[in-house]
Amino acid sequence: MNSRTIEILLVEDNPGDARLTLEAFKEGKVSNNLTVMGDGVEALAYLRRQGRYANSAQPDLILLDLNLPKKDGREVLAEIKADEHLMKIPVIVLTTSAAEEDIARAYTRHANCYITKPVDLDQFLRVVQSIESFWLTLVKLPSQ
Amino acid sequence: MQALKDCASMISLSKLAHDHMLVVFFVYGLAFFLLGTAILLKQDKRSSLKLRSLLLLLAGFGLLHGASEWSDMFLALGETYWTPFLFRIIKTIGFYLGLGSFVFLLAFGLRSVALDRSRFKWLERASVIVSLLFAAVVTVHGIRTGLSTQWYVTSGVLMRYLLAFPGSLIAAAGLFRQSQSREIKEINSSAIHRNIRGLAAVFVVYALLAGVIVPQAPFPPAAFINYSSFENVFGLPVQIFRAACSLLAALFVSGLLNAFSAITYGDLEKQVQERTSDLAKANETLLRDIAARKRVEQELTSKAEELARSNAELELFAYVASHDLQEPLRMVASYTQLLARRYKGKLGAEADEFIGFAVDGATRMQQLIQDLLSYSRVTSRGKALNLTQSETACNSALENLRESIKESKAQVSVGPLPGIIADATQLTQLFQNLIGNAIKYRNERRPEISISARPNGSEWTFSIQDNGIGIEPKYSERIFQMFQRLHTRKEYSGTGIGLAVCRKIVERHGGRIWVESQPGRGSTFIFTIPRAERTEK
C-alpha cells in the first residue's frame, strides 16, 4: 500500500461543503492532506506555484466544483488539461449539478470522472469512501 | 213665396229631366260604369284583404248595370227611332243585363254577409241557381207570350222585387258585416269605416229606389208605388236619384280602395321601415359584439402573456428551489447528521433526541422540496405526447418497483393494455405511483393488484385495483391534493405528493382520475386517457 501522504486539492467555494469533504476524508483510512482553494484563480495559482504558492505541493488528485467565483470550474478544468505539467493529475468533478450538459462538457474537457454530490450525508460519506478506495487505493497514480 | 219658387224650380227641373231623358240615362249608366271601372282599375294584387276581392263582384254589378242603363238610354230615343225588332232586341238585352247585374249584386251581398265562412257557400250557390231559374222561367214565359210589352213590364218589376231589392239590402248588410270583421277592425282606419258604412247606406237607399220604385204594373204594389207616383211625390224621375246613388257608391268605393292602397303601401313602408330598423339594430349589435370580442381577445392576449410570465416565474422558482434552497438545507441536514454521527451517545440522551428531530426535520424538508420539484416538473419538464404502449410503461413501473413487490410478495396481474398518446416517462411514473400505493397501503393479506384497461367511448379507462386497506369515500377527493395525507408518518411514510402528481399527469394527458373504494375492501384507482386512433399520425 502507498504509505506516503496523499496530496488532495479541493476547489470549492462553499466552506460548509469544503469542511464536509474534509471531514469525510478524515474518516478515511488513507492518510491524506487536503488543501482547499476558494476560487478558480487561486486554484490555478496554487497548481502553477505562483506567488505565495511557490512552495506548494503538487496534488495527487484534484476535486473540482464547477460553480466557482472569478474563474469557474469549467475553465479551470480546461486550463489544467491544456497544461502539460498538470494534465496528468486526475480531476474529479464533484458538484451539485446533475445537468447532462455539464456532464458532457466536463468529459469533453478530459475530466477523469464526474460525480454529483448526494444530498444525504450518509450517501456523501459513501461517495468520499468510494473516491478514496478507487482513486487513492486501487488506481495507480503517476509518480510525482 | 219661397215654396212657390221651389215648386217652380222643381217643375222646371222635372221638365228638364224629361226633356233630356237621354242625358239622364247616359249619366246614370256612366255612374255605374265608373263604379265598375274604379274597382277594376284600383285592384291591387299586393293586398290580401278579402273585402277587396269581394268588390270584384260589385264591379261586375256596376259594369252590367251601366250597360243595362245605356240600353235604356237607347230605348229613350223612342220606339219610332228603332225598327220594332231592334227595339225589342235592345229591350231584351237591357233586361238581361239588368238581371245579370242584380245577380252579381246578390252574390256580392251574400258573400259579404258570409264573411269567410265557407259553410255559407251553398247559400250563394243557391241564390245564383234561383236567379238563373228566375231568368229561365221569365225567358220561357217571354217566348210563350212572344215578348209582349206586358211581359217586359211584369218581368222587369218581378226582377226588381225579387233580385234588386233583396240583393241591394243584403249587399248593405254584407258591407256592414264586413266593417265589423276582424280583418277590417284590425286595420282600424276611420277612412275605411266611413267609406264602407257610406256604401252600405247607399245600398239601403238603392234597395228602395231600384227594388221598390218600379215601372207601373197592373198588380200591387207596383200599381201604387211606381215611377210616376215617385215622380209625383219627389218631382224628379227616380233614375236621377239612382244615378246619384251610383255616383255616391262609386265615390265611396273609390275612397275605400284608396284607403286600402294607402294601407297596403303603408304596410309595405312600415315593413321596410321595420326591416331597416331591425337591420340597423342587428348591425349595432354586431358592432358591439365585435368590439366586445376584440376586448375579450385583448384580455385573452394579456392573460396569456400574464400566464406565460407567471409560468416563467414558476419555473424560476422551481430552479431556485432546486438549487439555492437546496444548498443551505443540505448544509443543515449534513451537519446535523454529522453531529449525530460523531456525538451520538456523548452529549446525553436529550441531546441525541434533539439532534434526531433536527435531522428528521431537515431530511423531510429535503424530501418536500424534491416532491414539489417533481410535481412542477410534470408540466415544466414534460415531453411531447407520442404513441406509447401503456403496457411497456406499466412493465417499466413494475421493474422499478421490483424490490417492494418482492418484499411484499405482491401478486400483480396486467391485462392487455392499449397504445395511447402519452409521455412515456410520465406514464411510467403514473403507473409506478399507483402500483406503489397499492403495495404500500396493503393490509395483512398478501397484496393482489390487477391492472386493466377497456375502451369507453372516445377514451380508455385504466383501472388499478388492489385488496389493501381502502379509503373512506369522504376522502376520495382530498387524497389527490398536494401534501394531503390520511395517515401519520409513523403508519405510512411519504409526503403526500404521489397522487397529486398522478392527477397532474393524467390531466396533462386530457384525462380524469378518481378512486372507488371502501375501507377494508381495497381500492380501485381509475384514470382515463383519450383514445389514440384519431390523433395518431
Q: What is the mean pLDDT of residues B362-381?
A: 79
Q: Which residue of B has its CA nearest to A17?
A: B331
Short-list B395, B433, B437, CA closest to B417: B395
Chain B interface mutation, best of A19, A22, A119, highest count of B Cβ atoms under 10 Å:
A119
Say whether B333 and A119 touch across the interface (CB within 8 A): yes
**Helix (H/G/I), strand (E/B), else coil: B1:** coil
Phi, psi of B518 (to 5 degrees): -130, 135
Pairing mode of beta strands B523-530, B459-465: antiparallel
Cα–Cα distances in Å, from B476 out to B441, B447, B506? 15, 21, 16
Distance from CA of B452 to the nearest CA of A (A): 36
d(CA A120, CA B324): 16
Among B461, B459, B457, B437, which Cα is nearest to B449's? B437
Q: Do the chains contact at B334 and A124, CB–CB below 8 Å? A: yes
| Chain position carrying cell 497544461 | A83
B498-512 per-position pLDDT tens digit? 888 899 899 888 899
Where residue B435 falls among pLDDT bands split at 50, 70, 90?
very high
d(CA B445, CA B443): 5
**How many contiguous H segments (helices) and E segments (strands) does chain A have?**
5, 5
Q: Cα–Cα–Cα angle for B426, B478, B460, nearest 5°?
A: 40
Question: Which strands form B513-517's sheet, in the order they lie side by side?
Answer: B411-414, B448-456, B459-465, B523-530, B513-517
Measured CA to CA, the distance from residue A29 to residue A27 in angstroms comes to: 7
Tell me the pLDDT tens digit for each residue of B469-503: 888 888 888 888 877 777 776 677 777 788 888 99
Substitution target in A121, A128, A129 with the highest count of B β-carbons within 10 Å is A121
The more confident residue out of B220 and B417 is B417
Distance CA B255, CA B196 (A): 9
Q: What is the pLDDT of residues B174-228, one digit of tens each?
A: 888 888 777 777 777 778 888 888 889 999 998 888 888 888 888 878 888 888 8
Residue count (chain A): 144
Q: How many CB atoms lie within 10 A of CB A64?
A: 25
Q: What pLDDT band is residue B49 in, cutting at 50, 70 and 90? A: low
Q: Is the pTM of this model over 0.95?
A: no
Residue of B nearest to A23 (CA): B338
Lowest mean pLDDT of A79-88, B319-328, B415-424, name the range: B319-328
- Name the residue facing B338 among A14, A17, A23 (closest C-beta): A23
β-pairing verdict for B386-389 and B419-422: antiparallel
A96 touches B: beta carbon within 8 Å: yes
- Strands A91-95, B386-389: pairing is unpaired
Q: Residues A35-76: pLDDT tens digits?
A: 999 888 888 889 888 888 888 888 989 999 988 888 888 889
Chain A within 8 Å of B333 (Cβ-Cβ)? yes
Q: Tell me, what's the ipTM?
A: 0.78
